[in-house]
Amino acid sequence: MSPTPAESRTWLTEEDCELDAFRALVAQRTDAADYPSAERVEQNVPLYDSDRLRALTVTPEGRRSVQAELVRALLDGPGIVVLKRAFTDPAVMDRASETFNALIEEERATGAARGDHFAKPGANDRVWNALDKTAVRAPETFADYYANDMIALLAEAWLGPAYQVTSQVNVVNPGGAAQSVHRDYHLGFLTQERAAAYPAHVHRLSPVLTLQGAVAHCDMPVESGPTLYLPHSQKYEPGYLAWRLPRFAEYFDAHHVQLPLDKGDAVFFNPALFHAAGHNRSTGIKRMANLLQISSAFGRAMETVDREAMANALFPVLLRRKADGACEDWLRRVVAATAEGYAFPTNLDLDPPVDGLAPPSQADTVWQAVTEGWTPEQLRQELRAGAKRRQS
C-alpha cells in the first residue's frame, strides 16, 4: 500500500530522494543583498570580515541584527558562512597549534588506533576530545583561545545561551585522501535504516541542535584540500537519507565549492549541509583545523538516571521472559525503556567509531547479551567497561 500524502510528510524514505528536486534547490544563487554585513559572496558563500562584525555588534541591537542575518544564512540561505580573521592574535593560534601537535605526537607514540567517521582510520592525525585535553594541559592557552568573540557570536545566534563546546583537532597530511560526502551530527551519524526510523519533523529538528565550525590553524590553499561544501543543500528535507545514495554523491563531487582559508579564519555551517574534507594534494602542507561541534543546551533529559544499574537489574527478567517465549518486540521495548539507546556523548579515544559511524550504545550491548544468552556477570562486566570507555 502506497503512503498517503500525510504519511509521506511524516516519514521519509529513500524513495523521497529525488535528484531533480535536489538539483533545483542547490542551483539557487546566494544574493549578496540578503547579507548586508558580509564583505562579499564567493562561490555562493557569504564571507564576513570579523573586525567589521565586531564593530557592528557593539550594541545589543547591532548584535541581534547581525545574529539574525547569520541565522538566515545558516537556515534559509547557503547554510555556511566564512568569518575572515576570526582569530587576530597569531600568538594565540600558535600556542594552541603547539598544544595540538604535542597531543598528536604523544598519542601517535602510544600506537592507539584512531577511528574516523567518514574517512579510513589512520588516514588523518586526529585528536578526539581535544577540548578537555587542551584545558587540562594548557589552561592559559585554552582561555585565550576560547575567549574568542566570533565563536560566541555564532554559537549564541544558532543555539542560544548555555551552549556546550566540543572540539576535535584534525590534520590532513600531504596526500591525505578526501572524506566521503556526508551530513553531520546527530542524524548524520546513524545508519540509513536508523535515520529513516525517525519522523520527518526530527529530520528538520536535528540540524538546529548543533553548530558545526572549523578554525584554520594554517593557510589552506585549495591544493591543501580545505573542506568541500554544497551550498543550500541543508534545506533538502530527505537529505539525511540522500547523502549515502550514489547519484547524490556523484552530484556533490561534480558541483561542490571549495574555499581557500587563511590562518585564523573560521567557517561555521549548518550540520545538514552536504560537505566533506578535501584531498590534500600539496607536497608540504599539514592542513590543521580545529573542528568545533557546539551543542544546544536542550539536548538532555530532565532527570539523571542510573541506566547501568537498571540494565543489570532487568537482564535476568529479560532472559527469563525470553525463555518463556516473549516475542522480540516485547523484549526490545523493555530494553529501550531501560538502557541508553544513543552512543553519544562518549570518549572517542577509548570508544572510537571503528566499525561504523558510532560505537555501540549501552542498549546495543544489552540486546547483544539477550540474543547471545550472556550470564548476568558477563553483562555486568561489559556495561562497566563500556561506562569507563565513555568517561573523559
196-236 pLDDT, tens digit per residue, is: 999 999 999 999 999 999 999 999 999 999 999 999 999 99
**Pair 339, 366: CB distance under 8 Å:** yes
Give the C-alpha separation, 247 to 18, whole Å. Answer: 10
Q: How confident is the model at residue 163 (pLDDT cuts 50, 70, 90)?
A: confident
What's the pLDDT score for residue 113?
47
Name 163's Cβ contacts closer than 8 Å, sequence gap at least 6: 155, 156, 211, 294, 295, 296, 297
CATH 2.40.160.10 fits 6-295, yes or no: no
Mean pLDDT of 48-71: 98
**Pair 226, 260: CB distance under 8 Å:** yes
Give the C-alpha separation, 262 to 239, whole Å. Answer: 30
Residue 391 has pLDDT above 90, yes or no: no
DSSP string, 361-379: PHHHHHHHHHHHT--HHHH
Give the C-alpha separation, 205 to 125, whole Å. Answer: 32
Give the C-alpha separation, 83 to 48, whole Å. Answer: 5
Residue 283 DSSP class: S
Residue 111 has pLDDT above 80, yes or no: no
Q: Where are the beta strands (DSSP E) in 162-312?
A: 164-172, 210-216, 228-229, 257-258, 266-269, 275-276, 287-295
Residue 4 has pLDDT above 70, yes or no: no
316-345 pLDDT, tens digit per residue, is: 999 999 999 999 999 999 898 889 888 888
262-303 pLDDT, tens digit per residue, is: 999 999 999 999 999 999 999 999 999 999 999 998 887 767
Residue 2 has pLDDT above 90, yes or no: no
Give the C-alpha separation, 366 to 386, whole Å. Answer: 11
Q: Is 308 left (phi over 0), alpha (psi -120 to 50) or beta?
A: alpha
Parse the chain into domains and list their residue ranges.
6-295, 307-389
Mean pLDDT of 242-250: 97
User: What is the amino acid identity at position 361?
Assistant: S
Continuous H helices in the chain: 5-10, 19-26, 50-56, 60-75, 90-110, 130-137, 139-146, 149-159, 192-196, 200-205, 239-242, 246-255, 307-323, 328-338, 362-372, 376-389
